[in-house]
Amino acid sequence: MAGAPVIRVLEPAAGVLAFYAGRDGSRFAAEANWVDEGAIGLGIASYALLVGAEAIVYDTGISVEWGRFVRAELERRGARRLTVVLSHWHLDHVAGTEAFGDCEVLANERTAAHLARHREAIEAGSLEGPPPIAPLLLPTRTFAEREALRTGSGEGAVEVELLTLDIHSDDATVLWIPGRGLLLCGDTLEDTVTYVDEPRRLGAHLRDLERLRRLGPRAILPNHGDPATIAAGGYPPGLIDATEAYLRLLLAAGSDPAAAARPLRDVLPALPGAGALRYFEPYEEVHRHNLEAVAGRS
């Protein structure tokens, strides 16, 4: 059945909401489209941190309807001041920003530049195909490498750090809550495997995975992952190890055609950190795409 996705509200940690859809065979539209291929098919979450009457909204989802749903749920729970943070510029993370048109929308400078550069094509639905995102709202404030935020007031206030990394895309912003050891990682980490969109930058990805490891997260919440694991509090740090090992496997595949021909199902169990993963069959296609992307880089 195609149509508006059913959004589930999960609460992986106190005050942390995950808005989740997909990974259940449902479709957004019958014809090929970026919402199904990149998001619903693999499962997608956006997040919010709610502290008293203040909330940080981490990504705005796959549609304006998604954004409105998130906003209504947060306001129902008492939020009066919303700040949006974009994890990176990919469409399934920014399509609902119009629902937050009167809020501050925060992104790193590279995300803002990517969105501005591609705005016309995104609004026309010609960058990744349909559906268009129109109007595409751009960030209202940018930061360079790091930004500290404080949500809530008084003793219950939560300190948050936004960190810019080059993993999956060169404009990744992760949301780190040091007091809780909780990392909202955007698309820098995925379960079952990372999606390689910028194959020439795997070296940078490996370096910045090390930066993530040094943060010492106790739990990790990715935007594409298993809903039961997210609902239960997120992934262990092994997700970082598994992602690093997987990137090294992709890099080695060029000189080992036999390894490259093996399905993900067969290669995953041997990777360090694989115990953190919940194998999901549609990632076989992501794996084939990744192998081709890495083989084709020059």
- In this structure, are residues 173 and 161 in contact, taking their beta carbons and an 8 Å threshold? no
Q: Minimum Å distance from CB 261 to Zn ion? A: 27
CB-based closest residue to Zn ion: 90
Stretch that binds Zn ion, among 63-71, 89-97, 150-158, 159-167 (CB under 5 A): 89-97
CA distances from 11 to 45, 139, 222, 230 (A): 12, 27, 14, 8
CA–CA separation, 95 and 86 (whole Å): 11
Residue (112 or 260) nearer to Zn ion, CB: 112
Q: Minimum Å distance from CB 149 to Zn ion? A: 22
CA–CA separation, 69 and 273 (whole Å): 35
Residues 143-172 that bind Zn ion (CB under 5 A): none
Q: Minimum Å distance from CB 58 to Zn ion? A: 13
Among 36, 59, 171, 187, binds Zn ion (CB under 5 A): 187
Q: Should residue 90 be labelled a site residue for Zn ion when binding is judged by CB under 5 A? A: yes
Stretch that binds Zn ion, among 49-57, 185-193, 200-208, 248-256 (CB under 5 A): 185-193
Stretch that binds Zn ion, among 83-91, 102-110, 139-147, 265-273 (CB under 5 A): 83-91
Q: Minimum Å distance from CB 188 to Zn ion? A: 9
Task: Give bridge partners of residue 150 from the DSSP assignment.
Answer: 159
Residue (170 or 187) nearer to Zn ion, CB: 187
Q: Minimum Å distance from CB 37 to Zn ion? A: 12
| String of contacts with Zn ion for each residue 16-35, x by CB under 5 A | --------------------
Stretch that binds Zn ion, among 60-68, 184-192, 258-266, 276-284 (CB under 5 A): 184-192
Residue (187 or 241) nearer to Zn ion, CB: 187
Q: Should residue 59 be labelled a site residue for Zn ion when binding is judged by CB under 5 A? A: no
Residue (152 or 186) nearer to Zn ion, CB: 186
Number of residues that bind Zn ion (CB under 5 A): 2
Residue (34 or 69) nearer to Zn ion, CB: 34
Residues that bind Zn ion (CB under 5 A): 90, 187
